[in-house]
Chain A
Amino acid sequence: MSEQLALLPGYLTAHLQLTLAALALAVAISLPLGVVAARVRRIEQPLLAVAAVIQTIPSLALLAVTVAVLAALGLHSIGFLPALIGLTLYGLLPILRNTVTGIAGVDPALVEAARGVGMTPAQQLVRVELPLAMPVVVAGIRTATVWTVGVATLSTPVGAPSLGNFIFSGLQTRNFTAVLVGSGAAAALALLLDALVHGVEVGIARRRRSLVATCLALLVALAAYALAPVATALLRPAARPITIGAKTFSEQYVLSELLALWIQRRTGLPTEVRASLGSTVAYDAVASGEIDLYVDYSGTLWANILRRTEPPPSRQAALDEVASGLRARDGVELVASLGFENAYALAMRATDARRLGIRTISDLAPHARAMTVGGDYEFFSRPEWRALRDRYGLTFAAQRSMDSSLMYQAAATGSVDVISGFSTDGRIDALDLVVLEDDRGAIPPYDAIVLVSARLAREHPDVVAALRALDGAIDAERMRAANLSVDQGGHTPATVARALCDAIGPPDVPAASSTYAAP
């Protein structure tokens, strides 16, 4: 608990920055648009239709689309910017719609009176229409506030830290304290912001200056709290920490913490972990220099980044071609191959495998028609699945997508018969599952490799040298044990990473005596 609470200020600040900035932008855009739409009725319907369409896009998809669009435009596609744009778009509709409705709902007699007493159109708006529409407009802002605080938790996968980091990593590593801290903090923040906006509204309506002042002061204080780190960074630019990315599963959390610790111990440089990134977001982030390094897998890069459809001729060839391909494409350097593979592997219950005499995927093929296959969300759209299906002629009775943390349990309890597990997942052994041999070599090798950005390679040869020492340092057995102690042992990735770090290298080489420090 205390470990999670220690992370709270950082994520809360980031969450507040995102939420307040997105809300301010959404108000700044949709309030004037709503006023114009209420005046020029011709554009009202099209405008509201566009906002409504944006709203119907699932929020996670909206953020992902923003990333893609920004990348296509050659802009910063990872982190704060896509999250801000996505959240702003999401907040537009309630404010826009309520502004239009609020102004349209003003009694026509009052508009006539406003004209009759000699107000200009601008004065009618400011003195009569907006004040009378204000309760409806503020209701829209409150709706947008609550939504934005909630949806902001989804900005974690696009690389913007938020309270969602607790939720994503907590769900993957079965740490429900983290999930609770994240959701609780988000809910409390939503209620607080909603209450403050409501307070301003009530204060204005009842003309209670002290209430308005108090609520505004609290909002300003929150904004100041959120912006303080930004201001500090601007005034006293500290050394940018070495940023390590992690995708959304236990092994990645452990490895990112391990790399952070390793770099701290070897070079004394500050580090920062940016966890729970979407799978391709992580690569894009290292390619653009948004993060400095992360761990990926040769087969994934072979198929998804290099877009190769044929299987690599050999394990070593895959590593060599990925290394040269990424360097040529984005200047990204492969600095170490950690020494284990984490491949997609078809796994099934050991008892069934014995009964049916299945040892390889070729053995499975004739039985597949009567079986259900389960996979993580991306598996069935990945080239590896197509390769497996085509090479072995696999046809299953049904296929089900589910969260990767749940599929092992699903196989063990019989909800599905075959899963696309990960070969280093400790739960394969623990739940009495067996991995089927890929006897025809359909799945490419998946060596875990450390990728660093072009900038890190250029500016920090000391870090690169430290990372090269990790080459071959972790074998599959060690990784599987580490993963299991997170997934079933109830340990946090940081704790497990510390043990792993101690095991593979001499602990705590002080920064001052580091080989790479100035003599």
Chain B
Amino acid sequence: MIELQSLVKRFGDRVAVADLSLTVAEGELLVLLGGSGCGKTTTLRMVNRLIEPTSGRVRIDGEDTGALAPHELRRRIGYAFQRVGLFPHMTVAENVGVTPSLLGWDTARIARRVDDLLELVELEPATTRDRRPHELSGGQQQRVGVARALAAEPRLMLLDEPFGALDPLTRDRIQQSFRRIRERLGLTAIFVTHDMGEALVLGDRIAVMDAGRLLQVGTPRDLLTHPADDIVRRLMETPRRQAAAIDALLAGERSP
């Protein structure tokens, strides 16, 4: 269980996150949803201390993350982000195996784990393992990024628009396989996106943010049926409007 308690982050005079509290249950995927600059990425990055909060704290299974060395905390948390950040001077296998090697696993165990993970993200280990990141397509790179985040068998995953830069078909396929992986491994995850569709498909619960504040937290159904305010209502109307437009198109085609 992850507890975010009264998190505040100020950059100079600007308040990026204002007194935010949230709880993510074991095995749950919570989506942080909002427009750019709403503070969702800052919130995520305070969980693995890529950003130190100005005040407030984060507990993982009751343990205060501020009490751990940042690099030890991060080795226990999978982290994937939109720009992927695969190391260009390392092979795919070295990229995936980087956290296990930092943890001092032996090479045979790392090699086995790398192959398992490549299969899990639907890449052929034999042909992918020794390639360099620049030889892969964008979608393949995102898969390797997810595999790297999962390598050290974390219980918690942080994902920051990990599929943001992909074309719609690839994105859909990779979302589906990520959902299967998560269910199989029973991972707890926090997932940042500004895409309503992605939020509705993947999220067990959705937390809507605006201007550093938390507007509403609830299941997709809660948000659709009982939006807490105008901003949430308007946000929830966008997928509906799209669905309606698609329905109208289909209806128009059927009636000549």
Chain A positions within 8 Å of B, measured between CB atoms, are 107, 109-110, 112-120, 123, 127-128, 131-132
Asked whether, in the complex, the Cβ of B79 is within 8 Å of the Cβ of A116, the reply is: yes
The smallest beta-carbon distance between B165 and chain A, in angstroms, is 12
| Residues in B whose Cβ lies below 8 Å from that of A127 | 87, 98
Residues of B in contact with A (beta carbons under 8 Å apart): 48, 50, 70-76, 79, 81, 83-89, 98-99, 102-103, 148, 152
Task: Give the Cβ gap from B113 to chain A, nearest Cβ, in Å.
Answer: 14
What residues on B are CB-neighbors of A118 within 8 Å? Answer: 71-76, 99, 102-103, 152
Q: Is the CB of B85 within 8 A of A109?
A: yes
- A110 partner, pick from B71, B72, B73, B87, beta carbons under 8 A: B87
B85 contacts which chain A residues (CB < 8 A)? 107, 109-110, 112-114, 116
Cα distance, A117 to B73, chains bound together (Å): 10
Contact between chains at B102 and A113 (CB < 8 Å): no
Q: Contact between B148 and A115 (Cβ–Cβ < 8 Å)?
A: no
User: Which A-chain residue is minimally distant from B82 (CB atoms)?
Assistant: A109
A-B contact pairs, 29 of them (CB 8 A): A107-B85, A109-B81, A109-B83, A110-B85, A112-B83, A112-B85, A113-B81, A113-B84, A113-B85, A114-B85, A114-B87, A115-B50, A116-B50, A116-B74, A116-B81, A117-B74, A117-B98, A117-B102, A117-B148, A118-B71, A118-B73, A118-B76, A118-B102, A118-B152, A119-B71, A123-B102, A127-B87, A128-B87, A131-B89
Summed over the interface, the residue pairs from A and B with CB atoms below 8 Å come to a total of: 59
Alpha-carbon gap, A119 to B73, bound state (A): 10
Further contacts, 20 of them, CB under 8 A, given A114-B85, A115-B71: A109-B81, A109-B84, A110-B85, A110-B88, A112-B50, A112-B81, A112-B83, A112-B85, A113-B84, A114-B87, A115-B70, A116-B79, A117-B79, A117-B148, A118-B99, A119-B98, A123-B71, A127-B87, A132-B87, A132-B89
Contacts of B50 in A (CB 8 A): 112, 115-116
Residue of B nearest to A131 (CB): B89
The residue that A116 contacts in the complex, of B48, B72, B89, with Cβ under 8 A, is: B48
CB <8 Å contact, B102 and A119: yes
Please indicate the chain B residues that have their CB under 8 angstroms from the CB of A120 in the complex: 71
Identify the closest chain A residue to B151 (Cβ): A117
Give CA–CA (A171, B98) in the complex, Å.
60
Tell whether, in the assembled complex, residue B87 and residue A113 are in contact, meaning their CB atoms are under 8 Å apart. yes
> A117–B94 Cα gap in the complex (Å)?
12
Give A273 Cβ to nearest chain B Cβ, in Å.
52
User: CB-CB < 8 A to A113: which residues of B?
Assistant: 81, 84-87
Q: For A123, what are the chain B residues with a Cβ–Cβ distance below 8 Å?
A: 71, 102
Chain B nearest CB from A179 CB (Å) reads 46
- In the complex, A131 Cα to B89 Cα: how many Å? 7
Residues of B within 8 A of A114 (CB): 85, 87
A123 to B75, CA, bound (A): 13
Please name the 10 residue pairs, one residue from A and one from B, whose CB atoms are nearest each other, closest first: A113-B85, A118-B75, A109-B83, A116-B79, A118-B74, A109-B85, A120-B71, A117-B99, A131-B89, A118-B71
